Amino acid sequence: MLKKLVPKEELGVLIDLLKKRGYAVVAPVLKDGVVLFEEINDFSEVAKGIEEEQEKGHYRVKESGFWFGYVHGPNSLKHFLHPPRTELLRIKPDLSQEVHLERKKYAFFGVRGCDLASLRILDYVFIKKNPHKDSYYSALREGVFTVAINCTQPAKTCFCTSMGTGPFTEGKSDLTITELKDGFLVRAFTEKGEEILKGLRAEAPKGKDYREERTLRERAISGIKRKVETEGLPQKLLERLESPLWEEVAKRCLACGSCAMVCPTCFCYEVVDEVSLDGSESVRFRSWDVCFREEFSAIHGVPLRSSIASRYRQWLLHKFSYWVGQFGEFGCVGCGRCITWCPVGIDITEEVGRLLSDG
């Protein structure tokens, strides 16, 4: 593993090196008061010198002494590898088909531990634990390069320590960056990462750099107050399918689906055919869907989960119970997006805690 102390101004060179290798670079930018992952052309576009205030139903940015004092906004890497709307194929009147398979080599810069974990989970869903490999996801996933940033200032809504996904990435990326006072401590965990790191002006880290990083890590861990007790959680939730608490949370839930839209691992979709006005072709699209819609569970026009309580229960159990049975691990990475972006401030950690106490 190659380790270097890189001057802050050298990160622009890192972006240039990735672009010269043909990567479409995606990084956090500040747009309309929100940190968003977007494709960039230059390092000057990357959000710097800000941090976030995140709480139940609340998000604000403010100035920070750190370059990367923020964590994440509402979108995630899912938006690029499993886009909200994907063209699958075009069908002509003679029934001939033209398959549309987009290929793009992405480099994701500024990825946090929770979002790295979400990639692993989506890989299970679409490739590794799916008997029918999803060619559309695979075409975008192949060749992805990740530059992670260790979280030294987690948001108040984070609970990654409960899910084992952060706040430090623990070597699950090509390059990992820890922001220090005098520069960035950068580690390469792959050959591709080493190649990029060797192209940067850097020096060997000193003992004080490692000590500073260790202090930042310990402070970040101790700063994460939200918790989920995961021991035996899948079975405990199954034992509470008839709890009255489902109806209680349903009185607050709008069934808007915001939590599922911002979740980096929710993957449900529907397939829609759209016919051109002149009838010359039909285009098949895959679009995100959400289990909070009453029609989502409809069979022969009749919804199986007609109540908000049943739909919220389905969503929460999918994250913390059903997913474990299907893929062997939780479907939640502890990013806290569903807490921040819920318009009525429903907190999934509180709801799980109340369910565990009800029994």
Residue 359: predicted pLDDT: 61
Listed as ranges, residues in the chain with pLDDT below 70 are 359
Residue 1: predicted pLDDT: 83
Residue 178: predicted pLDDT: 97
Residue 273: predicted pLDDT: 92
Residue 45: predicted pLDDT: 97
Residue 346: predicted pLDDT: 98
Single-letter amino acid code for the residue at 240: R
Please state the φ and ψ torsions of residue 79, each to the nearest 5 degrees.
-65, -20
Sign of torsion over alpha carbons 161, 163, 164, 166 = negative
Residue 306: predicted pLDDT: 83
